[in-house]
Structure 1
Amino acid sequence: MQSKQRFKNIPFNSSLLCLSACICQNLYAETDEQAVTAIPPIIAEATRTDTSYMQTPASVYRVDAAKQQNNIDVNLTEVIKGIPSLQINNRENYAQDLQISMRGFGARSTFGVRGLRLYVDGIPATMPDGQGQTSNIDLSSLDHIEVLTGPFSSLYGNSSGGTILTSTKEGQGRDSITMNYAGGSNQRNHVGLVLQGGSNNQYDPAYVVSSSYFDTDGYRDHSAAHKVLNNAKLTWNLDDGSKINWITNYVNISAQDPGGLTRSDWQANPKQVVKNVLDYNARKEIEQIQTGVTWDKPLDDQNDLYAMAYMGQRSVTQYQSIPKISQVTNPLTEKTKPYQAGGVIDFDRQYYGADLRWTGKDLLPNTKLSAGLALDAMTEDRKGFNSFAGDTLGIKGATRRDEDNTLWNIDPYVQASWNFLPTWTLDAGLRYSNVHFKTEDHYIVGLNGDNSGKTNYDKVLPSAALSWQILPELLAYASYAKGFETPTFTEMSYAAVGSDAANAFNLSPASSDTYELGLKSSNRLGDFTLAVFDIKTKNDIVAASSEGGRSTYRNADKTERKGAEFTWNKNLWRDLFAQASYSYLDAKFDADIQADGTVEKIPAGNYIPGIAKNQAYLGLTWKPEQGLYAGVDARYADKIYVNDINSDSAPSYTIFSANLGYAWALKDWKFNTYARVDNLFDKNYIGSVIVNESNKRYFEPAEGRNFSAGVSVTKQF
């Protein structure tokens, strides 16, 4: 309780924050009603094909910002709903971020995001080694999100099992200020401020500047957190037709880490934590600042240039709940553990990159060509310490690790789209992805020798899609791509339990072949999409074990993911919208994995843990520009196996939510109020799992019935 109080009383001085726009839960739909009003179709950005969503030969979805805020605006789980094969789990643990997977990629991650690419305004939110985070995404100033789940993701290189691209708003019209406050269960408080305005002069930028502060006592014991998030976007629209965006972002998080529970502990009291979590005061502190510039320049009617450059710094200090004895000796052999890096992880990363792309249109008949070069680099100063000094627990003790890590890649890529017949189009791409890792060990003590080393990974990534516009309202396509995923620095840093290996440089990169068939139709009954896919992966990177907050990994010789996805959305009547989706995902080990130390053998045919086989969503919203608005939705998720041997699982669940609000305008003022309830029927369920947790503390309970309400005021000048 003292720790919670400490978080609660943090001075309210870093910002007064939050804003005016949340995210609506509806996929974009080009309905007949929209066609009547002559609204031009919105172009899918993620695939770079210059086609609308219903004419893009890929599984790509769009989530637009809500007209009115109807959420507390903190987590992507409030925003992205109903996208098939996308699994976003809220751990109720701000020390570990959300658990995100697409078609099963990323499900192994016990913290952060793996196997997927994240972008904010074209700037990577995924580190060059493939480790990403959602903490710097400012929902308050968000315009829209694109989610790309199919083969086209390979266009983004390493760790592109799926791609999420978020775009913040650009300043428009008169200057305005928006202030808002939202509060809810478990002492959640979120306050925000947004300044925005357009520009009539090419030398004066349009701007959106937002600042927000969030704190909570947490749903579980020892899960309090606070977060400061600042985001600024300046936009210059120059007279020569070019556009420049400059984006700067800062995030600071302090959060307690409640860890997982066994099944019996969860059933007895889902809010509790185990004793060693409290003994060592498990927690994490994160600070990140980054800035980037994008530039679009039309050279003439046929040629365009795009350039992007970014840089940033990220610092993390994490205090884990590894028992003192386990940091010193191996409890199975009672031998000393010279390679144990302690219970405190402390690293500082500097990262930067650039992307330059040329696009030519109709240089050949009915053809669009693109060619580019992407550069990313990262340096990391990583240290490890015992999480005790003498009999005092939960503090930095003796040094157990000190190393410098560097990584870089230079990826050339080309892409072409050829409309070779009036109703037939061939899209193809090729990227050479190469990633170079190097470690310099400065902690050479006793049996812990020099663990310096380096390794290179590279792969040619082809992709192709053939599409047929059967009717104006019906598209069919077939696509293929090869994917590539390297282990992250974190996954390379720790050996499996029971192994004497000093590091995990022996981890191999994963290589995938993805095949997809799809249909898309837009007609008076609504917008429909259907896709079936088969993904075969060699050397898949899977969890080996997780103990005391530390996870280790190994390669699976073969895995296979196959499934189907369906979506439907429609404007039913006036401002009434409906959305439904369903996904089936059968993800299995396709070959035996032999035992490794204390890690058990996994037989072929077992399900890959962390993945729901079936998911479904249904949402109904009434969303006028002004007046009363409301929404209800239901979400179903199948059971999730918690380990490779499939000995236990988190049970399936269905949860409901509802929101109600009112928005009105009066001259230069706009007002919005909302109230919502999530987990309407107080379902006791597991929000996410810690895959292969060695002490069987697999389960991270989700919040029961919870409430939030908010108000925002906007003044134009």
Structure 2
Amino acid sequence: MGPCKRFFAVFGLLLGLPTQAAEPVPVTLGTVQVQVAKVHAVADFDLPASTTTVDTDGNGRGALISEALGGVPGLLARERQNFAQDTQLSIRGFGARSTFGVRGVRLLVDGVPATMPDGQGQLSHFNLLGAERIEVLRGPFSALYGNSSGGVLQLWSADGQRGDPWRLRSSYGSNNSISTGVQLKGQAAAMHYNVAANHFRTDGWRDHSAARRESLTARLGFDLAPGQRLDLLINAFDAPHAQDPLGLSREQVRANPHQATAVAGQYNTRKSVRQAQAGAVYTLDRERQTWRLMGYAGQRAVEQFLAIPPGPQNSPLHSGGVIDLDSDYGGIDARWAWHGALAGKPLELVMGANADRQRQDRTGYENFVGDTLGIKGRLRRDQRDRVENIDQFVQAWWQFSPRWSALVGARHSQVRFRSDDRYITPGNPDDSGRRDYSATTPVAGLVFRANDDLRLYASAGRGFETPTFNELGYRADGGAGLALDLSPALSRNYELGGKWRAQNGARLELALFRADTDDELAVARNSGGRSSFRNIGATRRQGVELGWWQPLPNDQHLQLAWTWLQATVREGYLTCTGLPAPCTVPLNPVAPGTRLPGVPRQQLSARWQWQPGAWQWAAEMVAASDIGVSDLGDTRAPGYGLLNLEVAREWNTARGPLRLFARVDNLLDQRYIGSVIVNDGNQRYYEPGPDRAYSAGLQWAW
């Protein structure tokens, strides 16, 4: 019996088991913030968009964001068992190609961008311990957030109030994994505070995958006067020397999925990240108007040791096997919101502009000195990169009849790339260059109110995605300089959907979607440990999302999320992916109809919960179909189905409630591929998922 068949067999058996939510449960809150501005607020039930809000306050396990996002339709978040690389995150297939960081999906924390102006983002500093909720937006209206917005993920910290408890949370699990955090939340005079600090470390499930992470977040809110509010946002993150086990070939996975690739040990592949940022948000509410001004600034340093052998680095154009990045970034956002009426019908209007900038010192070094590997050697790259955007946007919601409402908007974005090369030698000419991109992305949607508990909607819009600086870094022809010939990917997005709710809290949401993209970016060349990119033509992502939330008798709850996604190439092209390697001239054909890599055709998440008194029980199952690993579409990682169980018990003490909890992941001890490295030049595509794992911990609130 295959893993997916086992999954559905176990699912049938579990229909008789009592369960509970010790994990965050996706719920849809009553209102959303339209384009982040806190206007009169429109219920998400009345918006022509797919939105899901995950309530994390008091429930998050405190370390990994992927643990909170398993029940969101259309979203794929995969931990790689490799803390030197970020969580793999994609929404409706956007972002699935990324081999490092997050691209194609817009990320924000308390309204502050975690995605840089070039579209490259990071999840590593998202701290769940201090979070209240995570909002996920899918579909055409994501384009209102700017460049590389195939979807939007926002984390919001809780706003401290009088009487809020403080929390201490600690857990221990398999592979000597420890997570300990403390949250101080409340109100002192006019100041609302929420400060959360977390320590995490692990020896890693795979060899050479040990890691340590420290994070601190703080949200301090000040009531300056009636209708006036100032929020100060602080974030710090440190992850030194996270070991990178690299991917495995299919044969290596069969032999020993715990192993690291041999060169990982030879070169001591690892990555260090340190980030600190601060922001301020001023909000002024006056009758029907809301003014909001946000500013932020930060620094991020990354040092990564790769497993590139000395041979390819003999080329005078090679940038070495050590990447050293020091970045300064910041930006401002100003917006005005008004709620009133047009022709006697309710109207919400938001207008604004924002500007963001990142300045990056990018240096490269050889990863050897003499015969000693895995240490920093001679300088091979030295450039100053700058990317900035200036955007303007407007959107309006109008309920023009008792049964009909419309949401329309547009955003104009201008993204500018500049690079100043300071490493110039006789064999390596001046690679300085610049490139500007701009686009206007309109969106529109209609909602029909069939009755009090049923909404039908349709929406459409355009989006665009520029290359990131990493994709601009190497030319497809192997020559010196940046790939300034790359064009942005342009998409046309459509969605039809329905939302239903019942008086007992049951909800059902269904969405059909399509995104047609021109000038999709894909790998053109793999050589010397580097990948270059090209525009390949047209692709299509289309599918169905279903979310169902059903309360059951005796404090039970059922939640299902299912996604069917067909992501394919519409125009054939040639690629260097596959053999021979290294490849300098694209020769391998990719036929029309080939599936895009990194995208499973189907995903299913099911969770049944039960809370009898002080006890809490939960069972959840996740399943995914097979997934392509390269543009050629001829090799896939197999699908899988996993079962996880939880139990918790809470006691009321004189000092506050004490909660003990335990969890078993992958109860059936399945062997599976947890994530893939798309288009890996060494064809080590596979990152195995862990076998049966245990964790236990406590939380004390006082």
Q: TM-score by structure 2 length?
A: 0.92
Q: Verify the 8 A CA contact 1:259 1:549 in the aligned structure 2.
A: no
Structure 1 vs Structure 2: percent identity of aligned residues?
39
Aligned to 2:67: 78
Aligned equivalent of 1:345: 323
Per the alignment, residue 13 of structure 2 pairs with: none
Question: How many angstroms does 1:573 deviate by?
Answer: 2.8
Match of 1:260 in 2: 247
2:426 matched residue in structure 1: 446
Matched with 1:234 is 220
Secondary structure at the aligned position of 2:183 is classed as strand
The count of aligned residue pairs is: 668
1:351 aligned partner, one-letter code? Y
Paired with 2:264 and 2:615, the residues of 1 have a C-alpha distance of: 46
| 1:534 alignment partner AA | R
| Cα distance in 1 for residues equivalent to 2:134 and 2:169 | 22
Q: For residues 154 and 438 of structure 1, do their structure 2 counterparts lie closer, same or farther at Cα, with a shift above 3 Å needed? A: same
> Given the superposition, is the C-alpha separation of residues 284 and 340 from structure 1 closer, same or farther in structure 2, using an over 3 Å criterion?
same
Q: Output the amino acid matched with 1:621.
A: Q
TM-superposed deviation, 1:142: 1.1
Deviations 1:538-568 (A, max 9, x none): 1112234667874432222110111111110
Name 1:323's counterpart in structure 2.
Answer: 309
CA shift for structure 1 position 501: 4.7
Q: Residue 96 of structure 1 contacts residue 112 of structure 1 at CA under 8 Å; is this kept in 2? A: yes
Q: Which amino acid aligns with 2:67?
A: E
Between the aligned partners of 2:258 and 2:264, the Cα distance in structure 1 is 13
**Which of 533, 557, 575 lines up with 1:553 in the alignment?**
533
Distance (Å, rounded) in 1 between the aligned partners of 2:385 and 2:303? 17
CA distance in 2 between counterparts of 1:114 and 1:433 reads 17
Q: Is 1:206 equivalent to 2:195 in the alignment?
A: no
Tell me the equivalent position of 1:518.
Answer: 497
Match of 1:705 among 664, 688, 692: 692
Structure 1: state its 5+ residue gaps: 1-21, 31-40, 329-336
Does the C-alpha gap of structure 1 residues 544 and 183 become closer, same or farther in structure 2, counting only changes over 3 Å? Answer: farther
- Asked if 1 retains the 8 angstrom alpha-carbon contact of 2:57 and 2:131, the reply is no
Preserved contact between residue 546 and residue 690 of structure 1 (Cα < 8 Å): no
Match of 2:623 in 1: 636
Counterpart CA distance in 2 for 1:342 and 1:667 is 60
SS in 2 for 1:362: strand
Query: In the alignment, which of 198, 201, 216 is matched to residue 215 of structure 1?
Result: 201
Q: What do the CA deviations read for 1:618-649 (whole angstroms, capped 9, x no partner)?
A: 1012247x711121111110100101111210
Between the aligned partners of 2:415 and 2:685, the Cα distance in structure 1 is: 33
Matches within 5 A, 1:109-508: 109-174=98-163, 176-199=165-188, 201-202=189-190, 205-254=191-240, 255-300=242-287, 302-328=288-314, 337-362=315-340, 364=342, 365=344, 366-496=346-476, 499-508=478-487
Q: CA deviation at 1:124?
A: 0.9
Alpha-carbon distance, 1:594 to partner: 2.9
- Three-state SS of the structure 2 residue aligned to 1:258 is coil
Does structure 2 conserve the Cα–Cα contact (< 8 Å) formed by 1:24 and 1:63?
A: no
Q: Name the CA distance, whole Å, in 2 between partners of 1:376 and 1:228.
A: 27
Give the superposition deviation at 1:655: 0.6
How many angstroms does 1:135 deviate by?
Answer: 0.8
CA 23–509 in structure 1, closer or farther in 2 if over 3 Å, else same: farther
CA contact (8 A) 2:73 2:547 kept: yes
> 1:19-98 counterparts in 2 under 5 A?
24-29=23-28, 41-43=30-32, 50-65=41-56, 67-68=58-59, 71=61, 73-98=62-87
Q: 1:703 to 1:598 in 2, by over 3 A?
A: farther
Pair 1:493–1:469, CA change in 2 (3 A): same
Which residue identity lines up with residue 396 of structure 1 in the other structure? K
Provide Cα deviations, 1:485-527, integer angstroms capped at 9, x if missing partner: 111111211334x633532222211110001101111025720
CA distance in 1 between counterparts of 2:201 and 2:167 reads 20
For residues 429 and 314 of structure 1, the distance between their equivalents in structure 2, rounded to whole angstroms, comes to 33
Q: For 2:54, what is the secondary structure of its paired residue?
A: strand
2:525·2:575 contact (CA, 8 Å) conserved in 1? no
Q: Name the counterpart of 1:621.
A: 609
CA distance in 2, matches of 1:544, 1:187: 41
Change (3 A) 1:346 1:451: same
Where structure 2 has 5 or more consecutive residues not aligned to the other structure, the ranges are 1-20, 577-583
* Preserved CA contact (<8 Å) 2:418 2:433: yes
Give the superposition deviation at 1:47. 7.4
Q: Report if the CA contact (8 A) 1:279-1:394 is conserved.
A: yes
Task: Assess if the C-alpha contact under 8 Å between 1:547 and 1:693 holds in 2.
Answer: no
Aligned to 1:264, the other structure's residue is in SS state: helix
Q: Distance in 2 between matches of 1:290 and 1:551?
A: 31
User: For the residues of structure 1 that align with 2:129 and 2:548, how far apart are their CA atoms?
Assistant: 27
Say which is worse superposed, 403-412 or 524-533, in terms of deviation.
Answer: 524-533
**What does residue 676 of structure 2 align with?**
689
Q: How far apart, CA to CA, are the structure 2 residues paired with 1:436 and 1:23?
A: 45
Which position in structure 2 is the counterpart of 1:333? none
Aligned residue in 2 for 1:7: none
Q: Hey, what does 1:103 align to over in structure 2? A: 92
Q: Give the 3 Å change call, closer, same or farther, for CA 292–440 of structure 1 in structure 2.
A: same
